[in-house]
Chains A and B, each alone.
Chain A
Amino acid sequence: MSFNRYKDIIEEGDTVILYISPQAMYAIQAQSVIENRKGEKVENVMQTKYGALKISSLFGKPFGSKVSLSNGWAHVLYPTPELWTQTLPHRTQIIYTPDISLIMFMLELKPGSIVVESGTGSGSLTHSMAVRVKPTGHIYTYDFHEQRADQAQKEFKAHGLSENVTSQCRDVCQNGFSDDVTGKADAVFLDLPHPHLVVPFAIKALKPSGGGRICTFSPCIEQVMRTCQTLQEHGFIQIKTVECLEKEYQVVNRTVTTFATASRPSSAPVPQNTTEEHSNDKKFVACIPSASPRGHTGYLTTATYLMETPLQLQEAEIEDSCEK
C-alpha cells in the first residue's frame, strides 16, 4: 500500500526497495510468511549476495534505515516510481525514467489530469503518472493482452493506486477507447506498434475544448513518420519528435603517472629513494562516462490538439475522401 502516499514506517504488506548498490536493488513485498514450492507456509527470508534477510525484521523500521545482512548491510527504501521502474518484474519492454520524465512533462500532467494510456505493459509509466495526477486525476490504461491487463490491475490495487488507475483489457487499435473516457482526457499516451491507427480514437477521447496533448513512443522511425503524417492530417499542431538519452558518469579517484623526466635537469643524479617515484603519480578525481550506455530507446512524438474543426467541414472532408 505504500505507493499512494509517503510513509515513514514499514508495515506488513508494503513494497520495499532493498538497496545494496545502484546495480543491486530489489523490490520486495513485505510479508512475514510466504508459501514455498510445496505449498507450506514458511518464514519469508530473502537471499542476497551479502547474506540472508528476514523480512519480518523490517516491520516497524523507518524507510531509509540501514539493515544488517549476515555478511554486510543494505538500506531499505521507500518505493518511489523511479525506484520501482528499476526493480519491477518485466512482463514487456518497459519505458525508463528519462523517457518517463519527458512524457509526463510534454503531456503537461498535474494533479487532476485525466490520462488515457495504451498499452499498459509492465505498468512502469502508469505508476509514475498515477502519482503525478493524484489525488483527483485518473489514468485509464488499456492493454490488449488479457493476462498483462489483469496482472497490472492487481498490482495497482496492491500498491494503493486503484483510486487513480483503471486498467482494462482492450484492443484500442480495433475498438478505440472505452466510452467512459470520451471527451474527458487531457492527455493521451500511445506506446503500441501502430499508433497512427489510434489517433482518431485519441481525438474522441480528448476534451473537445482543445489544448489537449498527445504523445507517442515508437522505437522505429517508420512508425514515427506514419504517426506524424496522421497527426498532421487530423489537425494536430506543434508536432515535434525528439529523442533523449541520459548519460551517466561515475566519479572515482584515479592516479596517473606523469612524465617526470622532462622537468628534471639532465645533469641531476637519478634519485634512488622510493618517495621520489611517488611524486611521479598524479591523483585526480575522474568523471567517467558509462562504457556501454543505452544508445536508443524510442522517439517521442508530441502534439497539441486544437479545437474541433466545424462539423460541416468534417463532413465535406469525408465526402472528398469518398470521391477519391
Chain B
Amino acid sequence: MTTTNLENIISRGHYLIINKNETYLIHQISNKAILKLGRDVIDLKAAIGQPFSSTYKLEPIPEKKRHYTLVICNDNQARNQWSTNGCGTDNKLITDDSSSQLLSTDEIIALKESGESGQNIVERLLENSKTFQLKTEYAQEKYLKKKARKYCDYLTIFKPSIRLITDVLYKQQTLPKTIALRFDTLAQILCRVNLDPGGKYLLYENGSQGLLQAALLNQLHDNGSLVHIFSLTSEQNALRAVKAMNFSETKIKQMLTVSLDEILNTKNEENIPEEKDEEDVPNCSDDKKRKSDEAYTQIKKKHRPITSTDGLNFIKSNKFDGLIVVCREEPTEFVKTLLPYLSLSRPFVIYSAFREVLVSMYAEFKMRRDVVFLRLTDNFMRYHQVLPNRTHPDVTMDDGGGFLFSGLFVAGTK
C-alpha cells in the first residue's frame, strides 16, 4: 500500500487546499509555485512531488523580508508549542491598562521582518508580557491560541474535497451575489435526491460557484451522468468548485450542459397547452442578457467540450433519476417544466435562501396529484467547543443554512 497513485501527489497546475492554522484557502499551484498569504510570500516548490496531507514548516529566506520556503515536517510533536511557567487562579489582579505587553508594535513588526520564527516571536511576547503568568491556565491557553493564529510556522496542504471546498466557499460568501450553501444543506441535498452513483441527474444551478456540479460529479461513478442547466446570468466564477476538484477530462465529460433558454424554448415549441400562459419566466429578459455578456462568453468557452444540443437531446431522450434546483430565482414554473423528465418514484429537491419562495411552491404542489412526500425543512446546526471542563455549544450560531423543499414524482391520475 504505497502512495504511488499520481492523484495523491502534488504537481504543477493542481488545485490545493492550503491550511494555515484556522484559515483554509483554495489555491492553484502555478509554474512559479508562489503563494501570497496576507503580507507573506511563500514559495511552494518544496511541496511539488510530495503526497497530499503533508505538513510543512515555513523557513524564512534570509535576504528577503517576509519570504518563506517550505520544509516538510510531518512530526506532530514538533509543532508550535509554548511552555508556560505557572498560572494564576483568577483574573482579579489583571487590569486592562494596555501596558501589559512591554514590546511595542514596531518592535514586534521588526521581529517578524527579521525572519524570526513564529515560535521565537511568541516566546518573546510571553517573556515581555506582565500579565501572562497571572492568567488562569484556561486564559493562557486562549491567549496562545490567538497568538498561534498569527505566528503559526506551519501549513498543511490537503487534497481538495467537497467538504473542504464547501467550507472555504461558505466562508467567502458574497451575498446576494452567490448562494452560500452550508455543508449540512449540501449533505442533505445529496441524500434527499438519493444520489446513486450510476444514476442520471438533472441539475439547475445558478450562484453556488459550481459547488453542486462538483459535488454531484464527485458522487457519480463512470456510468452515471449529469445534465447541468445553466443560466446566462451566471456568476463570474461559475465553475470554481469544479475546477478546484482536479477532475479528469473523462470525469468532466460526464456532465452535459444546456442553457436554460434552450429548455424554456423547447417548451414553447412543444406548446404544452396547460402551461402556455406561463412562459413569463425570469432570466430571458434582454437587459439581463446584456448585463451578463461577459459571463456568458466565459461560460460558453468553459462548456465547449460538449455542445449544448447534445445535452438537450439527452434530456429529451432520457428519463432522469433526480432533479436538483439550487438557484437565486423563483423556480416554480421551471420545476414544473422539468418534472415530467423524471422517471416515476424519483425525488426532486429545491433549495432556496428564502422560505417564502418554497412555501408558495409547496402550496401549489400540494394540489398536484403527481407528487407525494412533500417536505419543507431547514436545519438547526451548531458547533460545540469540547475542552476539558469547558464544553459548551459555540457562542455564535449559524442560522443561514437556507431551506429545502423536496418530494417524489409519481404517477398522477389522468
Contact = CB atoms under 8 A, between A and B. Distances in A.
Do A and B associate with each other?
Answer: yes
Interface of B: 1, 3, 8, 51-55, 74-77, 156, 158-159, 161-163, 183-184, 186-188, 190-192, 194-199, 218-221, 321, 343-347, 355, 359-360, 362-363, 366, 372-373, 375-384, 386, 388, 391, 393, 408-413
B197 A247 contact: no
Given A6-B199, A62-B411, 12 more contacts: A6-B198, A64-B344, A101-B188, A105-B162, A111-B220, A131-B196, A133-B197, A211-B158, A224-B386, A224-B391, A287-B376, A299-B384
28 contacts: A5-B196, A6-B346, A8-B343, A19-B373, A64-B344, A64-B346, A64-B410, A101-B187, A101-B191, A102-B187, A105-B183, A106-B187, A134-B198, A136-B221, A207-B1, A209-B51, A224-B391, A225-B386, A241-B386, A245-B379, A245-B380, A245-B381, A247-B378, A249-B359, A307-B74, A309-B76, A309-B77, A310-B75
Interface residues on A, range: 35 or more
A111 B196 CA distance: 9
A249 B376 contact: yes
Given A111-B220, A209-B8, A104 B191 contact: yes
Contacts, number: 205
A210 B376 contact: no
Nearest to A8: B343
A280 B8 CA distance: 69
Given A101-B187, A209-B3, A241 B383 contact: yes
A111 B191 CA distance: 15
A120 to B, nearest CB: 20
A75 B409 CA distance: 11
Contact of A307 (B53, B161, B198): B53
A224 B383 CA distance: 12
A253 interface: yes
A240 B343 contact: no
A110 interface: yes
B185 to A, nearest CB: 9
Contacts of A251: 359, 362-363, 366, 376
Given A105-B183, A110-B219, A251-B362, A211 B163 contact: no
Contacts of B413: 66
Given A209-B3, A229-B388, A244 B218 contact: no
Given A80-B347, A132-B197, A247 B380 contact: yes
A306 B76 contact: yes
Q: What are the 10 tightest A-B residue pairs by CB atom distance, in nearest-first order?
A: A64-B344, A64-B345, A105-B187, A101-B191, A211-B53, A63-B345, A80-B194, A210-B53, A251-B362, A111-B221
A192 to B, nearest CB: 19
A75 B218 contact: no
Interface string A214-245: 00000001001100110000010101111111
B380 A221 contact: no
Nearest to A306: B53
A150 B392 CA distance: 39
A97 interface: yes
A183 B1 contact: yes
Contacts of B196: 5-6, 131
Contacts of A80: 194, 347
A265 B321 CA distance: 60
A100 to B, nearest CB: 6
Nearest to A238: B19
Most B CB contacts (10 A, CB to CB) among A210, A301, A313 go to A210
A71 B197 CA distance: 39
B379 A65 contact: no
Nearest to B373: A22
